Amino acid sequence: MQKRNLGKSGLTVAPLAFGCNVFGWTADQATAFKLLDAFVDSDLNLLDTADVYPVWHPGNVGGESETIIGNWLKKSSKRDQVIIATKVGMKMAPALGTENLSRKYIFDSVEKSLKRLQIETIDLYQAHTDDPVTPLEETLTAFDDLIKQGKVRAIGASNYSGARLKEALAVSKAAGLARYESLQPEYNLYDRAGYELELEPLCHKEHLGVISYFSLARGFLSGKYRSEADLSQSPRGTGVKKYLNERGFAIVDTLHKVAKELHSQPARIALAWLIARPGITAPIASATTLSQLEDLIAAAKLTLSAAALAELDQASQ
């Protein structure tokens, strides 16, 4: 399994990231420990989380995912085998209306994340969403200072538009500050245009790493959702409805066809397509069972033929 450079950060990651947003939500701590052990034992190393995960679950306040990862790191002693990516800037609970990318908020949040994760340095610290109010130079200066202090190794952006990402990179260059070395966009076989038209050319030009989220379109590309009646199968089902259309079903049908030819599974094929895309460093995918994790591990080792890639490209246009 060939590892890839994450931009110019100096971080080298395996071609698939584990989405840890499920920890403290649909996967309890005991389950998370098993999943993390199996993930790392398979030579995969990138763990993606956020301070806010999973605040949406009743009773949670945010930080539950980081806390579980921190407890696993302490128990397993596998800190040197993983790349920890977390994020800052989204609303925690109780909602105080103070979330932003100001220097004060970033400095306060990073200490809390470090404590929950039980580590001294965050490998990749990402702005979870754009803050149109705080000046980019203030945000980037704060991140730059955290790198100088040894609390963060590299920084990345998530959910930025092409225009704002380009502006942020220009600010870093002009002021001599650390720059965003990665982007985390929504990208999968169904949701292509938002990334490919505006962000992909910029990431390629600036040599940024790309860690895509919703890689399986909230589970739709696994093939388990064929009608609205199927949406009750999962807590994520409510977000799948938009995919239930002619184009969505054509993509899934093609995934099934390619999977059958390769004696594989649709989810593996969908992830392998992403891994094969030029410029994609590591798509993010989640698992709540060891059998689901097997699909992720298999996808990281699967190479699709040019014919299969072309067939999937055509179905998803």
In whole angstroms, give the CA distance from residue 115 to residue 238. 33
Average pLDDT (43-62) is 96
Average pLDDT (50-79) is 97
Residue 123 in tokens:
């490998």
User: Residue 98's pLDDT is what?
Assistant: 77
User: Residue 1's pLDDT is what?
Assistant: 81
Residue 187 in tokens:
């990208």
Q: What is the pLDDT of residues 181-213, one digit of tens each?
A: 999 999 999 999 999 999 999 999 999 999 999
Does the pLDDT value for residue 237 go beyond 90?
A: no
213 is a catalytic site residue: no
Nearest to 195 by CA among 162, 169, 163, 168: 162
Residue 181 in tokens:
């070395």
Please tell me what DSSP assigns to residue 23: B
Q: What residue ranges define each of the domains in the chain, with the CATH number in brackets?
A: 4-219+266-305 (3.20.20.100)
Does the pLDDT value for residue 30 go beyond 70?
A: yes
Q: What is the pLDDT of residues 272-299, one digit of tens each?
A: 999 999 999 999 999 999 999 999 999 9
Average pLDDT (29-58) is 97
Q: What is the pLDDT of residues 124-163, one digit of tens each?
A: 999 999 999 999 999 999 999 999 999 999 999 999 999 9
Q: The pTM is what?
A: 0.95
Contacts of residue 165, Cβ cutoff 8 Å, sequence gap at least 6: 157, 180, 183, 199, 202
User: Residue 228's pLDDT is what?
Assistant: 65
Nearest to 90 by CA among 140, 52, 142, 59: 52
Q: Residue 236 corresponds to which amino acid?
A: R
User: Residue 256's pLDDT is what?
Assistant: 97
| Local confidence band at 93 (pLDDT 50, 70, 90 cut-offs) | confident
User: Residue 239's pLDDT is what?
Assistant: 80
| Local confidence band at 224 (pLDDT 50, 70, 90 cut-offs) | confident
Catalytic residue among 53, 160, 180, 187: 53
User: Residue 206's pLDDT is what?
Assistant: 98
Mean of per-residue pLDDT scores for the chain: 95
Does the pLDDT value for residue 234 go beyond 90?
A: no
User: Residue 255's pLDDT is what?
Assistant: 98
CA distances to 47, 130, 210 from 213, rounded to whole Å, are 12, 16, 10
Give percent above pLDDT 70 in the chain: 95
Q: Strand pairing partners for 180?
A: 155
**272 Cα distance to chain centroid:** 16
In whole angstroms, give the CA distance from residue 197 to residue 259. 28
In whole angstroms, give the CA distance from residue 299 to residue 280. 14
User: Residue 192's pLDDT is what?
Assistant: 97
For strand 180-184 and strand 209-210, is the pairing parallel, antiparallel, or unpaired? Answer: parallel
In whole angstroms, give the CA distance from residue 79 to residue 137. 32
